[in-house]
Structure 1
Amino acid sequence: MSRWLSHGIDPWSKLNAASDIETLNMNPVKNMRREDMGLQWLAIGLFCCFVILAGGLWYVQIVSFKKYEKYREVQSYRTVRIPAPRGLIYDRDAQLLADNEPNLNIVVYLDQLREDFTRTYHDLKGDKDLPYLEGLELEKDARYLTVSNMVYEASVIIGKPSALVRSEFESHYYRHRYMDMPVLTGLSREQMARFMEQGSRLKGFDLEVRSKRRYPNGSLAAHLLGYMRPRQRTSNEEAATLQMSFDYELPDFMGKYGLEGQYEDELSGEPGAKSILVNNMIYRQEEEEWLPLLPGKHLYLTLDTDIQKAAEDALRYLNPNQQRRGAIVVMDCNNGDVLALASAPTFDPNIFTGFLPASVFKPMIDPKGSLPLFNRATYGRYHPGSIFKIMIGLAGLESRIIDPEVEFFGQGYFPMRGRRIDDTAGAGYFNFERAFYKSSNAYFIHYGLKLGPETIVDYGNQIFLGKETGLLPAQETGGYFPSKQTVRKGWHPGDTANLSIGQGKIDVTPLQMAVMTSAVANGGTVFWPRIVAGWESMMPNGASVFEPEPEGRIRGRLRAS
């Protein structure tokens, strides 16, 4: 043993090793389990990762499919509003008062110029290495120069000087590059012909025809017809009604005044829509129309063009410089149809369908000016003057206060509590016929005082003075007429005297006076005035259907108090 120890060998080590081998050989399963525990934990970890990954894929593909599908569509499609053809307006004899004419424009499709944009960019850049931001600015310059030069070339071809406004171009590029951009608008037929002959070399340029409202008779019946202005974007309320929103809306006009505004929904019809598939650069790939449009209805009026012209000629004769003001209303006393409604001064509604400079529009609404847009036939409030003597005469005859044969002596004025109300009929004896013919103030004041204010008010109420007629609600006033409560408190004989000759505390419209005189002329029937004779709708099969408006609607009848 000393020999083993001297060599550094432990004699018991071999015995220990042999013992370990013997132990290992006796318990093989126990030792394998101890070494496989790490592998088992690794397998469990991998299995958990697989379960989590599979669950995530299931959630994305199944649960969130609709969400991501909708997101994909929003990113890939653009919805465009397509205006419907606007309904036409005719008079009672089917003569055109408002129609639509083609508006010719030159447009450019930016998606067809992408290679040109790149070529111009490289020409401008040359061999220089530009910082990122400078490169972006140069790309903007390249796009604008490309299109601007082509627009200039197109303007030379058609002989219409024009320049591309950079801010408008960039706005269209960044917001609506998937749509064609109008660059030259309002072409004449000659300009269109020149472009069709020589413009084919302009890549991405094309002709486009849109609709424009036209009033063939100019200012004829302008206050009645109204005018159009560019349509604003669809409001949230409209979008909710249509159950859709639009990314782009083709240019359209809407009625802002007169019948064009009052019947906007009927005349404008229902717009259509199309979807444009765009790529990741927001350029168009393809398009599909999926919501058909519905044309507007045609409007037929009771207006007689010849009578309307005669009324406007009369106002023009009295008002050659368009400075004096007046109105004429002609009604069919047998049914209330309005045959003419004229107001002076007037305007041409055609100027509103194009660009309207502020220098032209501001004088039209200047309160110190002649206000040509103001409809004096329905919105003007005036003392009726001598025409109101008709009501005093009617009330006096019906109540037997006036005997048409009895003569009244007038002094050329009427004395009223220390003052005199002049009588242009002069002094003399007047029976009813002569007093009416001469329009004697003294005669009608005398009998108006005998009637008393309450009786006068009662007859005024029978023709609905102080109330709107409903002809043009958006541009009509009811004026002012005293009530019975008013004349019972704080009312003086002088007020009755003034009222008897259409002065003082009374304001009426020319339309109201037309209703009054029609009622007297037809024997006492008060009609609702009517301007709409009916509507014509176009059916999908091409047939037309006419829907007449009720004729001769009775509002009331004159009766003795």
Structure 2
Amino acid sequence: MMARRVVIRNHSAEANLFARRAFIAFSGVLILLIILFSNLYSLQIASFEKYQTRSNSNRIKLLPVAPNRGLIYDRNGVILADNKPVYSLAVIPEDTKDLKNSITAISQLLEISADRQKKFFKSVKSKRRFKQVELHPRLSEQQVALFSVNQHKFPGIFVDARLKRYYPFGKLTTHSLGYVARINRKDVNKLEREGKSENYAATHGIGKLGIEKYYEDILHGTIGHQEVEVNNQGRIIRTLNFNPPTPGKDLTLTLDIELQMIAKRALSGKRGAVVAMDPRTGGVLAMYSNPSYDGNLFVHGISNKAYNKLRNSKDSPFINRTVRGYPPASTVKPFLALTGLEENIITPDTKVWDPGWYQLEGLPNKYRDWKRWGHGWVNLNKAIEQSCNTYFFKLAFELGITKISTMMERFGFGDYTGIDIHEESKAIMPSVSWKRGRYNQSWYTGETLSVGIGQSYWTATPLQLTQALTTLVNHGHKKVPHFLHATSELVSTDEGVQSTNIEEIVYEEQAPLVLKQEKNWNVVLNAMHRTVQVFGATGHEAFKGTHYDAAGKTGSAQVASIKQDEEYEAEKTKESQRDNAMFIAFAPYKNPEIVVAVAIENVAKGGGGTNAGPVARQIMDQYFGNRVISANQGTNIKNNLMVNQHQHSSAIVKVQ
């Protein structure tokens, strides 16, 4: 039997080991506590403000609130661009007991298409269940009424109201006002470059054309914010503060919607344009391009089918013909006559023999007058009255293209007028340098002759013709064509009373066109007066019997070239190659109040006096026969604006 081994424990060594381990553990705990309290100090004291801000940013959200867009009125207080409530059908999925059956039932009730239902369920999958999802973007009044009666059957489904732009006159104002449409990527990039993107955080639409685009910054307003508290899922618990947006300013234009209506009626069935302007101020009274299109189609989003139909139309309704270049034809003969007087090439009594053509010495080509047998002996008055081409062929030859282009540029041809829309064209005022730069070719004398009757490369917009005529009737004093007359906004006083703050726009005078002989203005204007007032003159029939004293000039612009041995016959000519009819006019002859330019494309027969002259007369008949704005028009516009501002202020809708 083996002896049992007895191990004697060393209590002293064990005690030392335990003490060392306890010390190490205690030290570790102490170090961790120091780290813990250091972090607590850092979080609660040293970095308190930093983490409180981050905590609040998780708990408190700033939701942008879009401002109401400013309204647009005509000169008489008629509203041209309004903000109209639009009703959409929205759903909060978590508040709906049986989502699928509810959507099926409401779709049958309101006749919502299967495509919209499919799009809705696709959107539901990508959003949180407490967020609203749109089922139908635009309900009719009948649908809203039908849903209101049955709303109790559909918990979680409701009608959401928001403001959308609305143009009461549709096609009538599109080329002037433009339209508002959904902001796209191009718009976003531009806003970011200009540092304006933050102000559009809650805005869905932006001005795309015309006045809406040019005055976007004034019309849009300033964004507001709603401060809300949310939980960790992003659900809104309560509203802490509301900073309302500042609505955009309202605009009052110089445009007269009644004249605009007359322009549309006068151009019915024709392709063309009308511009009417007040020569005393430069305010545009009417500006209509036909055919047009309804800007309301773009506010809610136009379908591809509807867009392609407009784009592919042979009448090109997207083109704003008021700012498109046309050969000005004989409408520019008064300006050429003035140039000849200034350069001492002609006098009022200078006579030219017109056999029906003009021929350059040594060349076989004959430049024909519109009257085959000619006008006989013609002085300046008769040349403008009868629109004698031969007289102006000779005058253009003696002036030369450089003198012609220099004077015409002083009248504004070949340049922007400065009107407050972006779609304007410069058109073309040809010159030796222009042709060299454009075609790298020399200028030929025959081209100068064509320029002498407003043909060749020369093009002018109806707006440019109106501005040039304004300069002519003002004896060289230039006016910038413009739409905007005044801006207005509602402001609150310290006592809480709202009032309308109106700011009228003052336009600076341009440097005048000064002639060597002041009497030359009246010589040319008198010839234009005779063009309308003298029996047998080209513009007489159009204005026969008016109770106001008008003056004007006709024009027939050749679109396609005609060979030497051919005669122009409109009935046998392809429509797109038929002549354009042009007319410019002003009235009264003494102290003019209105100037008008008309362009009509590809007329079947007749010239400017037959086709465009009656259109100009209808505009003037409306202006003088049913006058609304008197001599103190500024005061009347202001009063109309204040009345309408008051009427619409109670209808402002705040969309959150």
TM norm structure 2:
0.69
2:482 corresponds in structure 1 to 530
SS of the counterpart of 1:300?
Answer: strand
Deviations 1:220-269 (A, max 9, x none): 121001112123489488579579699xx667322111111111121121
Taking the aligned partners of 2:74 and 2:163, their CA distance within structure 1 comes to 22
1:421 aligns with 2:367: yes
Aligned pair partner of 1:460 in 408, 420, 423: 408
- 1:93 deviates by 0.9
1:370 corresponds in structure 2 to 315
Taking the aligned partners of 1:210 and 1:544, their CA distance within structure 2 comes to 25
SS of the counterpart of 2:320?
Answer: coil
2:149 corresponds in structure 1 to 197
1:400 aligns with 2:329: no
Deviations 1:435-487 (A, max 9, x none): 11111111011112222222212211211222111214520111222357558
Residues 161 and 462 (structure 1 numbering): CA distance in 2 closer, same or farther, change over 3 Å?
A: same
1:545 corresponds in structure 2 to 501
- 1:61 deviates by 4.0
1:498 corresponds in structure 2 to 450
Judge which range, 232-241 or 399-408, deviates more: 232-241
2:247 corresponds in structure 1 to 295
1:351 corresponds in structure 2 to 297
Aligned pair partner of 2:427 in 470, 479, 494: 479
Aligned pair partner of 1:333 in 279, 304, 309: 279
Taking the aligned partners of 1:110 and 1:232, their CA distance within structure 2 comes to 29
Residues 236 and 221 (structure 1 numbering): CA distance in 2 closer, same or farther, change over 3 Å?
A: closer
Residues 403 and 45 (structure 1 numbering): CA distance in 2 closer, same or farther, change over 3 Å?
A: closer
| Unpaired runs of at least 5, structure 2 | 518-656
Taking the aligned partners of 2:507 and 2:26, their CA distance within structure 1 comes to 91
1:44 corresponds in structure 2 to 27
Taking the aligned partners of 1:353 and 1:315, their CA distance within structure 2 comes to 26
Taking the aligned partners of 2:127 and 2:239, their CA distance within structure 1 comes to 17
2:643 corresponds in structure 1 to none
1:437 aligns with 2:389: no
- 1:536 deviates by 0.8
Taking the aligned partners of 1:66 and 1:519, their CA distance within structure 2 comes to 67
Taking the aligned partners of 2:502 and 2:377, their CA distance within structure 1 comes to 58
1:381 aligns with 2:325: yes
- 1:527 deviates by 1.1
Residues 34 and 183 (structure 1 numbering): CA distance in 2 closer, same or farther, change over 3 Å?
A: closer
2:76 corresponds in structure 1 to 93
**Which protein shows a greater Rg?**
1
2:238 corresponds in structure 1 to 286
SS of the counterpart of 1:286?
Answer: strand
1:511 aligns with 2:456: no
1:309 corresponds in structure 2 to 261
- 1:278 deviates by 4.0
- Aligned amino acid, residue 548 of structure 1: E
Residues 105 and 252 (structure 1 numbering): CA distance in 2 closer, same or farther, change over 3 Å?
A: same
- Aligned amino acid, residue 543 of structure 1: S
Q: Identical aligned pairs, as a percentage?
A: 27
Taking the aligned partners of 1:560 and 1:535, their CA distance within structure 2 comes to 41
> In 2, are the aligned partners of 1:526 and 1:558 still within 8 Å (CA)?
no
Moved over 6 A (4+): 30-35
> In 2, are the aligned partners of 1:82 and 1:273 still within 8 Å (CA)?
yes
Residues 273 and 313 (structure 1 numbering): CA distance in 2 closer, same or farther, change over 3 Å?
A: same
Taking the aligned partners of 2:196 and 2:240, their CA distance within structure 1 comes to 19
> In 1, are the aligned partners of 2:83 and 2:164 still within 8 Å (CA)?
yes
> In 2, are the aligned partners of 1:462 and 1:556 still within 8 Å (CA)?
no
- 1:77 deviates by 5.2
Residues 501 and 34 (structure 1 numbering): CA distance in 2 closer, same or farther, change over 3 Å?
A: closer
1:450 corresponds in structure 2 to 398
- Aligned amino acid, residue 454 of structure 1: T
- Aligned amino acid, residue 505 of structure 2: E
- Aligned amino acid, residue 267 of structure 1: L
- 1:158 deviates by 4.5
Deviations 1:23-70 (A, max 9, x none): x9xxx9x99878744443333233222222323333444456566555
> In 1, are the aligned partners of 2:480 and 2:507 still within 8 Å (CA)?
no
> In 2, are the aligned partners of 1:335 and 1:553 still within 8 Å (CA)?
no
- 1:178 deviates by 4.6
- 1:191 deviates by 2.9
Taking the aligned partners of 1:251 and 1:421, their CA distance within structure 2 comes to 60
SS of the counterpart of 1:374?
Answer: coil
Taking the aligned partners of 1:224 and 1:289, their CA distance within structure 2 comes to 40
SS of the counterpart of 1:56?
Answer: helix
Taking the aligned partners of 2:283 and 2:197, their CA distance within structure 1 comes to 40
Residues 41 and 551 (structure 1 numbering): CA distance in 2 closer, same or farther, change over 3 Å?
A: closer
Taking the aligned partners of 2:14 and 2:350, their CA distance within structure 1 comes to 144
> In 1, are the aligned partners of 2:225 and 2:243 still within 8 Å (CA)?
yes
2:36 corresponds in structure 1 to 53
Deviations 1:413-438 (A, max 9, x none): 11132211111034122111111111
- 1:558 deviates by 4.3
> In 2, are the aligned partners of 1:154 and 1:199 still within 8 Å (CA)?
no
Say how many residue pairs are matched. Answer: 499
> In 1, are the aligned partners of 2:65 and 2:245 still within 8 Å (CA)?
yes
- Aligned amino acid, residue 456 of structure 1: I
Taking the aligned partners of 2:45 and 2:197, their CA distance within structure 1 comes to 27
2:531 corresponds in structure 1 to none
- 1:274 deviates by 2.5
- Aligned amino acid, residue 370 of structure 2: T
Deviations 1:115-174 (A, max 9, x none): x3xxxxxxxxxxxxxxxxxxxxxxxxxxxxx33422333344446666653444443553
Residues 345 and 543 (structure 1 numbering): CA distance in 2 closer, same or farther, change over 3 Å?
A: same
- Aligned amino acid, residue 399 of structure 2: L
Taking the aligned partners of 1:274 and 1:79, their CA distance within structure 2 comes to 6
SS of the counterpart of 1:186?
Answer: coil
Taking the aligned partners of 1:553 and 1:520, their CA distance within structure 2 comes to 15
1:82 corresponds in structure 2 to 65
1:270 corresponds in structure 2 to 222
Residues 164 and 347 (structure 1 numbering): CA distance in 2 closer, same or farther, change over 3 Å?
A: closer
> In 2, are the aligned partners of 1:399 and 1:560 still within 8 Å (CA)?
no
Taking the aligned partners of 1:173 and 1:293, their CA distance within structure 2 comes to 33
Deviations 1:12-32 (A, max 9, x none): xxxxx9xxx9xx9xxx9x998
Judge which range, 293-302 or 213-222, deviates more: 213-222
1:557 aligns with 2:506: no
- Aligned amino acid, residue 344 of structure 1: N
Taking the aligned partners of 1:219 and 1:354, their CA distance within structure 2 comes to 16
Deviations 1:198-218 (A, max 9, x none): 212311122222112111112
Taking the aligned partners of 1:194 and 1:265, their CA distance within structure 2 comes to 39
- Aligned amino acid, residue 40 of structure 2: L
- Aligned amino acid, residue 337 of structure 1: G
Taking the aligned partners of 2:292 and 2:310, their CA distance within structure 1 comes to 10
Judge which range, 331-340 or 273-282, deviates more: 273-282
| Unpaired runs of at least 5, structure 1 | 1-7, 9-16, 117-145
Taking the aligned partners of 1:204 and 1:329, their CA distance within structure 2 comes to 53
Residues 78 and 496 (structure 1 numbering): CA distance in 2 closer, same or farther, change over 3 Å?
A: same
> In 1, are the aligned partners of 2:211 and 2:421 still within 8 Å (CA)?
no
Taking the aligned partners of 1:447 and 1:291, their CA distance within structure 2 comes to 69
Deviations 1:311-332 (A, max 9, x none): 221111xxx2xxx531111111
Taking the aligned partners of 2:56 and 2:63, their CA distance within structure 1 comes to 14
Taking the aligned partners of 1:171 and 1:161, their CA distance within structure 2 comes to 16
Taking the aligned partners of 1:259 and 1:436, their CA distance within structure 2 comes to 37
- Aligned amino acid, residue 200 of structure 1: H
Aligned pair partner of 1:213 in 162, 165, 178: 165
Taking the aligned partners of 2:41 and 2:259, their CA distance within structure 1 comes to 77
SS of the counterpart of 2:321?
Answer: coil
> In 2, are the aligned partners of 1:84 and 1:272 still within 8 Å (CA)?
yes
